[in-house]
Amino acid sequence: MNTLSRREVLAALPAAAAAQPARRPNILLMLADDFGYECMSANGGTSYKTPNLDRMAAGGVRFTHAYAQPLCTPTRLQLMTGQYNFRNWMAFGLMDAKEKTFGHMMQRAGYRTAIAGKWQFYSYEEKGSPRFEKGMKPEQGGFDQFLLWHDLLTEDKGSRYANPVLSENGKPRRDTQGKYGPDLETDFLMRFMRESAQANQPFFAYYSMTLTHGPFNPTPRSGDWAQGNRLKDDPKYFGDMVTYLDNTVGRLAKFLDESGLASNTLVLFFGDNGTPPEITSRMGERVIPGGKGKTTDAGMHVPMFAYWKGVTPAGKVCPDLIDSTDFVPTMMEASGAKWFEGRPLDGRSFLPQVRGEKGKPREFAFAHYDPHPGCKKNYPATRFTWTHRHKLYMDGRMYDIVGDPMEKTPLDAADSKDVRGKLQAGLDAMARTAPPKFNRFETDGRKAY
């Protein structure tokens, strides 16, 4: 395993880290893949142990009502652009090459930028598809450095875990045999952060994780890693993958602490959607089937915390509604970066809450969900708004998502009239911004759902 030693970290960093100006914090954003709210033990999950995640969350602010889109590309597009999907959606697995991202924004603000992990915004499908060789390449995304899986190798995506298929700054890595993708990505990010500190430049590091997305493969901590089939796909390995994700976060946290960077680095952790349907987890006596792809809580409710040593109030739990569009405005406020003229932003900053202040929380959240064209499953497109307790769909269905989290029984139209009116007003306002328009067909003419 190619890792940075503690001696290397400490020898290289203290002077540079001390020189970092407090008013321009570094930012480390970690996005877990297919990792629902119930997977983190600090949230009440009992199927897995996540001591490193829990420890970092306990030192900062843990958000209990953070929501992503039900699938990865819709969330990742919102996260990187601060816009609802109806504004800039192209197709599943694609981003318009002309789009502006938080990478561009942070570069323009004088930050060094890097991304590691999963790209999945270019040439999502193989030759013959209208989506072949379309979209945004990594070097167009606003990142100075990158180590990525699924960037340009459309026809051979290859493993993201054992013997990973990775490209570093546009060139294939040839040294990955016998190694594990998340280890290489973590090493890459730590090296980037170390070099940024040595150069006395603030950094934005985006870890677009591959864990815990399927295939469910053994990890280096699995009992059969040494002698077994490292590419075997079996849901029994999901718990090992959660443990390895937690270990990876622990490595990054230790690096920041030992390097002296923790006191001037805002760490954000978020999930891109719910847990895969092959996985069933527990929160005590409550059984949580994986809801990835669905618009229920199991598909959208994700773990989130913010940690900034000396700034975040330790042990704070924040119930405010958080959406994936909120990260760009938060990063803007933290760094002094500016967004791009003529491009809208739909999110709102939660930096005050990170500091333990009240902020301006949302009264309700909104989603425009349409993963077509390009999505391989027939998830129906829709729009909806929700509060902590109620959710209203554009077809009039409303649910008590606390008492009925699987959304099996719609409420009577007369129930919770005041709440229904507020949520309907939110839908109406978004319809005035852009009337609902959905991709009901794939590009080859097949019905999408």
Q: How high is the pLDDT of residue 18? A: 40
What are the φ/ψ torsions at residue 259 (nearest 5 degrees)? -85, -10
Averaged pLDDT, 65-78: 98
**125: pLDDT confidence band, cut at 50, 70 and 90?**
confident
CATH architecture of 25-359: 3-Layer(aba) Sandwich (3.40)
Residue with token string 């493969």: 217
The whole-number pLDDT of residue 4 equals 53
Ranges of CATH 3.40.720.10 domains, the chain: 25-359
Give the model's pLDDT for residue 14: 46
Look at residues 332, 361, 359, 354 and name the one whose alpha carbon lies nearest to residue 345.
332
With a cut of 60, say whether residue 396 has pLDDT above it: yes
Whether 51 has a pLDDT exceeding 80, the answer reads yes
pLDDT at 328 over 70: yes
CA nearest neighbour of 83 among 323, 334, 414: 323
Q: What pLDDT is stored for residue 10 in this prediction?
A: 46
> How much of the chain is in helix, strand and coil states, percent to nearest 5?
30, 20, 50
Around Cβ 46, how many Cβ atoms within 10 Å? Answer: 13
Kindly tell me if the per-residue pLDDT of 318 is higher than 80. yes
Rounded Cα distance, 41 and 54, in Å: 7
Higher pLDDT: 14 or 322? It is: 322
CB of 275 closer than 8 Å to CB of 281: yes
CA distance 99 to 395: 31
Whether residue 11 has pLDDT greater than 60: no
| Cβ proximity of 184 and 248 under 8 Å | no
pLDDT of 19 above 60: no
- pLDDT tens per residue across span 150-164: 998 766 789 999 999
Q: What is the pLDDT of residues 368-394, one digit of tens each?
A: 999 999 998 999 999 999 999 999 999
- Looking at the domain covering 363-449, what would its CATH class be? alpha beta
CA–CA dist 97, 123 (Å, integer):
11
DSSP alpha helix (H) spans, 89-227: 102-108, 181-198
Ranking 20-34, 212-226, 261-275, 293-307 by mean pLDDT, the lowest is 20-34
